[in-house]
Amino acid sequence: MNDTNLDVEVNANRSNPKLGFDMPLFAMPSIFSGIAEQNAVRAKETCEKMKAASSEIADILREAYSTNTKGAADYGAKVIEISGFNANSAFDFLTHLMGTKSLSEIIQLSAAQSRKSFEVTSAQNKELWELAQKVATETAEPIRKSFTRVLQKAA
C-alpha cells in the first residue's frame, strides 16, 4: 500500500461515516426513524399532560392555602376570645378575693376558682383542638382528592 492508496482509503472513510456496529449512517432502517418519531410525539404529549396537571395542582394548592389561612385566622380569633375570657375571669376572682374577710373565705374562693379554671381550660382546649382538626381536614381532604384526580387524569 502506498501513500496514494492510503489517502483514498482515509477520504473514503470520511465520506461514509458509520454509526457503530459497522452500519453506515444513511443505511439506518426507516423503522428506527419511525420509532424515534413516535417517542418524540409521546414525550410531547406527556409534557403537555404534566404541564396541565401542574397548573391544576397549583390552583388546588392556592385554594388549600386560602382555606388554611381562613382557618388559621379563625383559630387565632378563638385564642384571642379565650384569652379575653380568661383575663376577665382572673379580674373577677381578684375582685372577689379583695372582698373576703377571713382566711377560710380565701381558701374556699381559691378552691372554687381553681375548679372553675380547670373545667373552663379543659373545655377551651377541647374547642381549640376541634377547631384545629376542622382546619386540617378542610385543608387536607380537598388536596388529597384533587391530587388523586389530577394524577389519574395525567396518567
Quick one: DSSP state of residue 38? H
For residue 24, the surrounding DSSP H or E stretch is strand 23-24
- Please name which of 1, 22, 23 lies closest in space to residue 10, comparing C-alpha atoms: 1
11 vs 13: CA distance, rounded Å = 5
Write out pLDDT tens, residues 87-114.
999 999 999 999 999 999 999 999 999 9
Amino acid present at 82? I
Q: Which three cell numbers stand for residue 75?
A: 383559630
The answer, yes or no, to whether residue 82 has pLDDT greater than 50, is yes
Q: State CA 92 to chain mean position distance.
A: 45
Write out pLDDT tens, residues 8-28.
444 444 554 444 455 555 545
pLDDT value of residue 129: 96
Please, are residues 135 and 66 in contact by the beta-carbon 8 Å criterion? no
Please, are residues 150 and 60 in contact by the beta-carbon 8 Å criterion? yes
pLDDT value of residue 24: 53
Boundaries of every domain in the chain: 29-154
The span from the first CA to the last CA of the chain, in angstroms, equals 62
What is the greatest pairwise CA distance in the chain?
129
Give the residue-averaged pLDDT of 36-54.
85
Q: Which three cell numbers stand for residue 18?
A: 458509520
Instruction: Calculate the CA dihedral of residues 84, 89, 90, 96 and round it to 10 degrees.
Output: 150
* Residue found under cell 388549600: 64
